[in-house]
C-alpha cells in the first residue's frame, strides 16, 4: 500500500474512533462538548496516531489493539493547537481550514475545551488497563512517557521558550530546543506508545526513540518551511505568521537551502535508526519521507 493510501486508511480509522470516544455534542454541558469536537473533528493529518500504528507494526504488534491509545495522542495534540491559537499565545484565526476554536466559542470555552481534551486523553490511557487489552505495566509506562512529553520538560517547556524568544535573535541551539520540545516530544512519545504497546524490546524502543526524535525535529522544520512556501488552502491556516510574529525558524536563521539540508539530514538519521528493523518498519520509513515532503 502506498503511503498516501496508508495515511488515509488510518485517518479514517482514527476519525471513527474519536467520534465514539468523545461525549456527544448535545451531552450536558453542550457548549463544552461542541467546542471539544469542533477542532478535533475538523480534520488534521492524524500523524501522531499513524506513527503509533506504524511503530506497533514495526515490532510485530497489532495496530488495531492500540486505536484508543493512539486517539488519546490526537486529543492531546488538538488541545495544544487550540491553546496555541489563543490570543495569549500565537493569536491565530484559522486552523484546519476553519475559524479557530476561540473565534467561534470564545476564549474561555476554548481554554476549557482544551483542558477537557487533555484530561480525557489521560482517562482513555488509564482505561487501557481496565479494558484488559494491554498489560498494566505497559500502560503505566505509556502514561509516564506521554505525561513527560507534554509537561515542563516537553511540549509546555518548548512552548514557553518559543513565546519567550519572539522578537529575539536566538541561536540554533535554542531553536533546536524549541523544536525538539514544542513538537518533537509528543511525536517521539507517539512512536514509543506504538512500540511499547506493540511489545518492543528495550533495544527496539531505543531505536524507535531515535527515529521519533529525528522525524519530530524534521516535522517542525517542514512546518517552518511551509509557513513560508506553503499555500493557505492546503494548510488550512494563514501562512507567513512566523515572520509576522518575528519568530526564529530554521529558514530565518540559517536560510531556506540550509533548512532543507537539515531536513534531509534528519530523514537519513531516521532511516539509520531503523537499520536493525526488517520490512515491518516499511511504513515508518515511508512516513519519514512524507514528513519532509508534505505540503500540508
Ligand atoms: C501539552 C500540557 C501541554 C500544553 C501545551 C499550547 C502549548 C502548550 C503548546 C503548543 C505546541 C504546538 C502547537 C506546537 C506546534 C506543533 C505542530 C507542528 C503542529 C501542527 O501539527 P500538524 O501539522 O497539524 O500535525 P494537524 O492539523 O495536521 O493535526
Tens digits of per-residue pLDDT, 158-184?
A: 999 999 999 999 999 999 999 999 999
Q: Is the pLDDT of residue 283 over 90?
A: yes
Decide whether any atom of ligand 1 lies within 6 Å of the 216 Cβ: no
Q: What is the pLDDT of residues 12-21, one digit of tens each?
A: 999 999 999 9
What are the φ and ψ backbone dihedral angles of 95, each rounded to 5 degrees? -155, 135
What are the φ and ψ backbone dihedral angles of 98, each rounded to 5 degrees? -135, 165
Decide whether any atom of ligand 1 lies within 6 Å of the 114 Cβ: no
Q: Pick the closest to residue 129 from 143, 150, 144 (CA basis).
A: 143
Q: Pick the closest to residue 213 from 189, 195, 248, 194 (CA basis).
A: 189
CA 76 / ligand 1 centre spacing (Å): 9
CA 26 / ligand 1 centre spacing (Å): 27
Measured from the Cα of 150, ligand 1's closest atom is 1
Pocket test of ligand 1: the residue of 95, 122, 159 to mutate, having most ligand atoms within 8 Å of its CB, is 159
Pocket test of ligand 1: the residue of 41, 46, 118, 182 to mutate, having most ligand atoms within 8 Å of its CB, is 182
CA 39 / ligand 1 centre spacing (Å): 12
Residue 4: other Cβ atoms inside 10 A: 10
Q: Is the pLDDT of residue 259 over 90?
A: yes
Composition of the chain by helix, strand, coil, percent to 5:
75, 0, 25
Q: Pick the closest to residue 237 from 104, 95, 103 (CA basis).
A: 95
Residues 132-139 have a mean pLDDT of 89
Q: What is the pLDDT of residues 196-212, one digit of tens each?
A: 999 999 999 999 999 99
Measured from the Cα of 84, ligand 1's closest atom is 6
Task: Convert 152-178 to b/e letters by CB count within 10 Å (16 or more is b).
Answer: eebbbbbbebbbebeeeebeeebbbbb
Pocket test of ligand 1: the residue of 48, 181, 183 to mutate, having most ligand atoms within 8 Å of its CB, is 183
How buried is residue 179: exposed, middle or buried, by Cβ count under 10 Å (0-12/13-18/19+)?
buried
CA 294 / ligand 1 centre spacing (Å): 17
Under 8 Å CB-to-CB from 203, ≥6 apart: which residues?
A: 276
Decide whether any atom of ligand 1 lies within 6 Å of the 75 Cβ: no
Ramachandran region, residue 240 (left: φ > 0; alpha: ψ -120 to 50; beta: rest): left
Q: Pick the closest to residue 296 from 213, 255, 239, 243 (CA basis).
A: 239
Q: Is the pLDDT of residue 132 over 80?
A: no
pLDDT of residue 133: 83
Under 8 Å CB-to-CB from 206, ≥6 apart: which residues?
A: none
**Mean confidence (pLDDT) of the chain:** 96
pLDDT of residue 264: 98
Give 98's strand partners: 95
pLDDT of residue 1: 73
Decide whether any atom of ligand 1 lies within 6 Å of the 69 Cβ: no
Residue 19's alpha-carbon distances to 15, 66, 159, in angstroms, are: 6, 16, 29
Amino acid at each position: 500500500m502506498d503511503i498516501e493510501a496508508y495515511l488515509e486508511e488510518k485517518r479514517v480509522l482514527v476519525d471513527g474512533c474519536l467520534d465514539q470516544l468523545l461525549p456527544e455534542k448535545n451531552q450536558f454541558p453542550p457548549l463544552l462538548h461542541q467546542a471539544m469536537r469542533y477542532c478535533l473533528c475538523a480534520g488534521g493529518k492524524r500523524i501522531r496516531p499513524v506513527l503509533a500504528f506504524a511503530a506497533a507494526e514495526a515490532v510485530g504488534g497489532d495496530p488495531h489493539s492500540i486505536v484508543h491509545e493512539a486517539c488519546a495522542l490526537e486529543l492531546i495534540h488538538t488541545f495544544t493547537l487550540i491553546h496555541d491559537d489563543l490570543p495569549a499565545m500565537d493569536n491565530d484565526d484559522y486552523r484546519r481550514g476553519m475559524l479557530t476554536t476561540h473565534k467561534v466559542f470564545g476564549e474561555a470555552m476554548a481554554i476549557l475545551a482544551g483542558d477537557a481534551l487533555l484530561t480525557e486523553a489521560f482517562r482513555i490511557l488509564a482505561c487501557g488497563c481496565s479494558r484488559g487489552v494491554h498489560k498494566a505495566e505497559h500502560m503505566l509506562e505509556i502514561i509516564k512517557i506521554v505525561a513527560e512529553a507534554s509537561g515542563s520538560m516537553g511540549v509546555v517547556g518548548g512552548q514557553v521558550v518559543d513565546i519567550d524568544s519572539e522578537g529575539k535573535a536566538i541561536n540554533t541551539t535554542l531553536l533546536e530546543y524549541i523544536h525538539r520540545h514544542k513538537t518533537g516530544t509528543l511525536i517521539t512519545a507517539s512512536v514509543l506508545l506504538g512500540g511499547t504497546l506493540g511489545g518492543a524490546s528495550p533495544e527496539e524502543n531505543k531505536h524507535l526513540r531515535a527515529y521519533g526524535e529525528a522525524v519530530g525535529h524534521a516535522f517542525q522544520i517542514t512546518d517552518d518551511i511551509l509557513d513560508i512556501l506553503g499555500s493557505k488552502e492546503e494548510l488550512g491556516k494563514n501562512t507567513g505568521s512566523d515572520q509576522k510574529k518575528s519568530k526564529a525558524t530554521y529558514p530565518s536563521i540559517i536560510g531556506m537551502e540550509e533548512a532543507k539540508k537539515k531536513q534531509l539530514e534528519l530523514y537519513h538519521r531516521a532511516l539509520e535508526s531503523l537499520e536493525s528493523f526488517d520490512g515491518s518498519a516499511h511504513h515508518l520509513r515511508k512516513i519519514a519521507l512524507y514528513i519532509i515532503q508534505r505540503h500540508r
